[in-house]
Chain A
Amino acid sequence: MNPAPAPSGGRPAVELDRAGSPPATVLLRRARLLDPRAGLDGAADMLIRDGRVAELGEDLAAPEGAEVVDAEGLHALPAFVDPHVHLRTPGREDEEDIDSGTRAAAAGGFCAILAQPNTLPVVDSAPVLRSLRERARVEARIPTGFLAAITVGQRGEELTEMAELAEAGAVAFTDDGMPVRSAGVMRQALQYQRLAGRLLALHEEDPALSGNGVMHEGDVSALLGVAGIPSVSESTMVARDCALAGYEEGRIHIQHVSARETVEAIAGAKAAGIQVTCEATPHHLLLTDEDVRELDTNMKMNPPLRAPVDREALIEALRSGLIDFIATDHAPHAREEKEQPFEHAPLGVTGLETAFAALHTGLVLPGLIDLGLLVERMTAGGEPFGLLTPSLAPGSAANVSLVDLDAEWEVGEAGYESRSENCAFAGRRLTGRVRMTIADGAVAYRERSFALGAVV
């Protein structure tokens, strides 16, 4: 994907990596085009030539060699961007690798993802980052970027060589999975951001408040007798880091917001002019601690599913734009690790393949948000990281997700592209199915049952 013009001078351009793939020439016949940012909402033909959106219009002629897709009844959306994915590589390739993770992303309609650095070893040095980028240039089905750690080994003690890492292509920095516990270290990272120039993406949680908690602290945890993680574990750290970012005039991004109190803290910080963005996951927008009653380990993640009142606050914040975009926090885990008693099971759920369908089913169909808003929030994830937002406007690189909004399917019925199956929506019936994904000008995914159009 092309780098965005740098918002402030001097910051090196962000680059993503992917395996070489021929630029597509595809004619989408009579697709319903929907791209609120580009002001598009209506049926038309869309011609993609040599990987770029060439023309929109009626009865376009197919150039020689073009694949013609009958898209009647399907929606062509700008493809989605997910800046919060765990590819488990290096170290846990049994759970996910770059090939399977990017295949899962493409199957979910994504055209770009950013991988988190909490791997084995942690991505905290330029050599590890360079080797990952090299693999991505062989394996990645869609453009993939890598974040590096804020602190060495994500131990929260010393800063990584952030300037060198940024030069080596780190898209941003995060200790995701762990908070930066020390306010002093967090402050240094913000100071050093003036040199390294990349966004700090923060997993917010106070370990002293989370304790040995494994789910949201509330009525359900009281009933189940499992230790809870209180909402204030997240919101107090968010308040701290917003204050630090304001003081150091740094830029931070709050990952996976889960609690109403956090939404309020971010609203206050944004109103005060602090440079903060935030994301929410499909599972926090759709599920609550009520879904944990059966102690299904596919409902265990960090931050935990919160109370219905928190979910309502997230939906409202998504609507208002306080939550800038949706990110999946796709976190694959091996089956034998999830097949344990709840308190022992690892934290995290997969979500790339279900994000759009789950949100379409759970938020758009019941009328909580409209489809255009969902498209905006699923495509905006690259913006704070300096990536271009996908667009259907002529001249743009082709990043298109072709979806059937009426298709019903059961999650997991035909397996997963991901190597792991710990999906929070496993077994649920969803409405809306990605049929084809074009990422950075190349066809990255085609649903098996989706008939190939005739090649002229």
Chain B
Amino acid sequence: MRRHLLTVDDLSREDIERILGRAESFAEVSGREIKKVPTLRGRTVINLFYEASTRTQSSFELAAKRLSADLVTVKASGSAVEKGESLKDTVQTLSAYDPAVIVIRTPDAGAAGLVARWTRASVINAGDGKHEHPTQALLDLYTLRRRVGSLEGLGVWIVGDVLHSRVARSNVLAFTRMGCQVTVCGPPTLIPRGIESLGCEVRYTLDELPGADVVYALRMQRERMQGSFVPSLREYAARYQIDGRRLGPNQLLMHPGPVNRGVELSAEVIDSPQALITEQVESGVVVRMAVLYELLAGRGAPSGARSSLESEPQPA
């Protein structure tokens, strides 16, 4: 694995297996009363968030704290960014504190890659525009694997606004890499031209949905309605909403959150036992612990860093 986690493309299947295995061991720690391990004591993690986020930001914070790292979270609002500081200057300023990791969430594709060029820290892409969100894909794999065991050969349907979804892009790559058969489905206006080149099938109706093992619904953003990508939310829901009629009893349901109840998902399926949505949130912390560990103390870390940690108690 490389020094940074910028896209799922950076990860081999072996890398993914190792991270998921590491997350399993951290799950044990999370079950304890004292949820902390000293693995990253004395090291600094900076969360740099240019976009509002609940799940990703809080789970990266908890992950860093449970690994005993020093943590600073910088948000665009209330920082020098509001005064017009460029991304480069912000990153160079924060890098002066010698962080081990910068976790970045931005509305701009490729921004995490730029940050990686401007800092000595390891960079984790926590969502860059409509490009990728690799830790989301990892936590989805982790969640699904816990439920079903092996991912090999599973049929996964990703349904909804694929065009504007970084989660869709990372998950097509991640599920495919783990041996799943991925189909993306949504209104033709919300399926990007050329998406098949990522290795997935494309469907515009849910007719073949019963063949899926896993239904992964995407958030339908209300602001997308303005570009007349779909004529109305009503028509969208009628064609693409996952509800009790469409979700078979043996199918699992996933969603990256936050959910628009009554749009992409009906209330009944959200609360059904097939839904993994809450488990996905839970997985966020341990998977992000595993990613931090992997970059700082695992195989991706510089050798000096690893050896200094070997004597410390590990959860595995």
Contact = CB atoms under 8 A, between A and B. Distances in A.
Nearest to B164: A225
B114 A341 contact: yes
Interface stretch (B191-199, B256-264, B266-274): B191-199
B136 to A, nearest CB: 13
A336 interface: yes
Contacts of B194: 217-223
Contacts of A223: 169, 194, 197-198
A228 B198 CA distance: 16
Nearest to A230: B193
Contact of B108 (A219, A339, A343): A343
Q: For the complex, would chain B's binding face be called helix, strand, loop or mixed by DSSP majority?
A: mixed
Contacts of A188: none
A148 to B, nearest CB: 35
A225 B194 CA distance: 11
B113 A225 contact: no
Contact of B198 (A222, A341, A342, A343): A222
B87 A228 contact: no
Q: Which of B108, B113, B128, B130 has the most CB of A within 10 A?
A: B108
Interface string A316-346: 0000000000000000000010011111100
A339 B88 contact: yes
Interface string A216-259: 01111111111110100000000000000000000000000000
A294 B165 CA distance: 19
Contact of B110 (A219, A222, A339, A341): A341
Contact of A339 (B86, B131, B195, B198): B86
Interface string B133-175: 0000000000000000000000000000000011001000000
A295 interface: yes
Given A340-B87, A341-B108, A228 B129 contact: no
A341 B130 contact: no
Given A336-B86, A341-B114, A225 B109 contact: yes
B39 interface: no
B24 interface: no
Contact of B113 (A218, A294, A343, A344): A294
A362 to B, nearest CB: 25
Contacts of A218: 193-194
Contacts of B86: 336, 339-340
B217 interface: no
Q: For the complex, would chain A's binding face be called helix, strand, loop or mixed by DSSP majority?
A: loop
Interface string A338-359: 0111111000000000000000
A341 B132 CA distance: 14
Interface in B89-147: 106, 108-111, 113-114, 128-132
Contacts of A222: 192-195, 197-198
A219 B196 CA distance: 8
Contacts of A339: 86, 88, 114
A228 B110 contact: no
A342 B166 CA distance: 16
- Contact-size category for B: 20 to 34
Interface residues of A, number: 22
A28 B167 CA distance: 64
A37 to B, nearest CB: 43
Contact of A344 (B108, B130, B169, B193): B108
Nearest to B108: A341
Contacts of A336: 86
B225 to A, nearest CB: 16
A448 B129 CA distance: 45
A217 B193 contact: yes
A343 B114 CA distance: 12
Contacts of B198: 222-223
Q: Which of A219, A220, A221, A341 has the most CB of B within 10 A?
A: A341
Nearest to A337: B86
Q: Which of A221, A225, A230, A294 has the most CB of B within 10 A?
A: A225
A265 B206 CA distance: 38
Contacts of B165: 225
A295 B132 CA distance: 13
A344 B109 CA distance: 10
Interface string B173-197: 0000000000000000000111101
Given A220-B194, A341-B111, A226 B130 contact: yes
A340 B86 CA distance: 8
Interface in A259-316: 294-295
Interface in A185-233: 217-228, 230
Nearest to A215: B109
A219 B109 contact: no
Contact of A225 (B88, B106, B129): B129
Contacts of B110: 224, 226, 294-295, 341-343
Nearest to A220: B194
A227 B108 CA distance: 11
A336 B88 CA distance: 9
Contacts of B87: 340-341
10 contacts: A221-B192, A222-B194, A222-B195, A225-B165, A226-B129, A295-B113, A336-B86, A340-B87, A341-B129, A343-B110
Given A221-B192, A223-B198, A343-B109, 6 more contacts: A222-B194, A222-B195, A226-B129, A226-B130, A341-B111, A343-B129
Would you list the 8 A-B pairs with minimal beta carbon distance, nearest first?
A295-B110, A341-B108, A225-B130, A222-B194, A219-B197, A219-B194, A225-B131, A222-B192
